[in-house]
Amino acid sequence: MLNKSHAKTETVQESASPLRLNLICALNCEAKSLIDKLRLKKQNQTVFSTYVGHWGVADQSVLVTVLITGVGAMSMAAGVAWLAAVQNEKYLNSVWLNVGTAGHGEFKLGAPFIVSMSQGVFSSRRFYPPQVARRAVRLSPCMSLNAPSSDYPETGGIDMEASAFFDVACRFTQAELVQSFKVVSDTPSQGIEHLTANIIAEIMQPHTEAVLVFSKALLLLAENAVQKPNNELVMPQIRATHSQRQQLNDRAKRLAFSLPAEKIDHLSSELLRLSQSVSDEKKAANLLLNYLDTAILNLQPTLHDSLASATQKHAQSRITQHGVG
């Protein structure tokens, strides 16, 4: 018989992660209007300058981080990797938005655009960020150079960070949630000579709302990225190998998604009872696995229930497409 105190319980599914928005800028002046608007607080003693806070979107609280990486591909890559390491992997569906200025051969000064294709000078790799979130600004390709330039492509933009940003940020979340929002700061007729920190902040300021609207569209997608069960199956703590634990988790997840709350509760107590009744600790995992397998075998979906739960899930999705809360 297992010692009762040994039969602790653990929750199999992790609880729903909050939504997270990472706004990545090369320069402080590019981020200033966002930091002010969202009333973010500067973090002390971090490797890179970061500002954090909560943004209320509908009735959800989104964790926002503005990261200032410094200029150039290396700084951007290091900054993004650092932030991803500091945040932990449970934010697998974080939104990563690069916000900054760019030169452009065709668009006017102050025009905003979302990067449709990004390529760095040292790599043949091109990034085409999937355009799923609704956008209200135009698309444009953007070439990332390793130094400021007044040589503008006929139809695209130039910057120094986007390509490194995509290369690194895409490793930490879904590609659809990694985007770059640029505002044209220099053109063939108005080159980079006129740019100061104040001017850049002024160029960015009118687009604060547009950045937030686009962020919100991305958060709406992030919210849809992964479903978590409404109910959690509580698994007794037992001795199990890694593979047994994986199998138990898999079965528990299926059942948590498929059964109503009261049945999940009943199942949780049954599992606890079973784990306590077994005399040989090593057999507990197999016993629970068999029990869960039988429960799965007996699942018989009814369309009436599944339609009702789909409607409920839909109603629970609270971030809507329009307007910033």
Partner 1 sequence: MVDTIYVENAINDHTRTALVLDRYPKAEVVGLEHYGEVFNSSKQNFRLQKHNPSLILAAKGGKRVMPTPAQYETGGGAHYYFSHMLNCVYDCRYCFLQGMLRSANYLLFVNYEDFMQDIRSVAEQHKGDDKPVWFFSGYDCDSLAYEPVTGFAEYFIHQFQHIDNAVLELRTKSTQIRSLLNTEPQDNVVVAYSLSPESIVSAVEKGAPPLSKRIEALKRLQDHGWRIGLRFDPIVWHADYLQDYEEAIPQVFESLKPDAIDSVTLGGFRLPKGFYKTMHNLHPEHWLFNAGLTEEEGMVVYRQDIEEQALKSVGELCERYVDERRVFAYSSFNAKEAEASGGM
Interacting residues toward partner 1 by CB under 8 A: 116-117, 126-128, 130-135, 138-139, 141, 170-171, 173-177, 221, 224-227, 229, 253-255, 257-258, 296-297, 299-303, 306-307, 310, 313
Q: Are 107 and 187 in contact (CB under 8 A)?
A: yes
Measured distance CA(144)–CA(163) in Å, rounded: 6
Nearer to partner 1, 142 or 200 (CB): 142
Secondary structure of residue 99 in the 3-state scheme: strand
How many Cα neighbours within 13 Å face the side chain of 270? 16
Least separation in angstroms between residue 138's CB and partner 1 is: 7
What is the closest distance, in whole angstroms, from the C-beta atom of residue 192 to partner 1 in the complex?
Answer: 26
Smallest separation, CB 116 to partner 1 (Å): 5
Q: Which CB sits closer to partner 1, 117 or 210?
A: 117
DSSP H or E run through 212: helix 208-225
Least distance to partner 1, CB of residue 108, Å:
17
Q: DSSP letters along 169-189, please?
A: HTTTS-GGGEEEEEEEEE-SS
Q: How far is the CB of 47 from partner 1 (least distance, A)?
A: 26
List all residues 6 or more positions away from 59 whose beta carbon is below 8 Å from its beta carbon: 318, 325
Nearer to partner 1, 224 or 286 (CB): 224
Judged by beta carbon, residue 66 or residue 184, the one nearer partner 1 is: 184
C-alpha 15/C-alpha 98 separation (Å) is 28
Q: Which is nearer to partner 1, 51 or 127 (CB)?
A: 127
Longest alpha-carbon distance in the chain? 83
The Cα 60–Cα 325 span in angstroms is 9
Helix (H, G, I), strand (E, B) or coil at 56: strand
Q: Which is nearer to partner 1, 199 or 310 (CB)?
A: 310
In which element (H, E) is residue 66 found?
strand 60-68
Specify the residue, 47 or 307, whose C-beta has the smaller distance to partner 1.
307
Phi–psi pair at 45, nearest 5 degrees: 55, 45
Give min distance, CB of 207 to partner 1, in A: 18
Whichever of 51 and 172 has its CB closer to partner 1, that residue is 172
Beta bridge partners of 54: 63
The least distance separating partner 1 from the CB of residue 148, rounded to whole angstroms, comes to 26
Neighbours of 103 (CB within 10 A): 30
Q: How far is the CB of 176 from partner 1 (least distance, A)?
A: 5
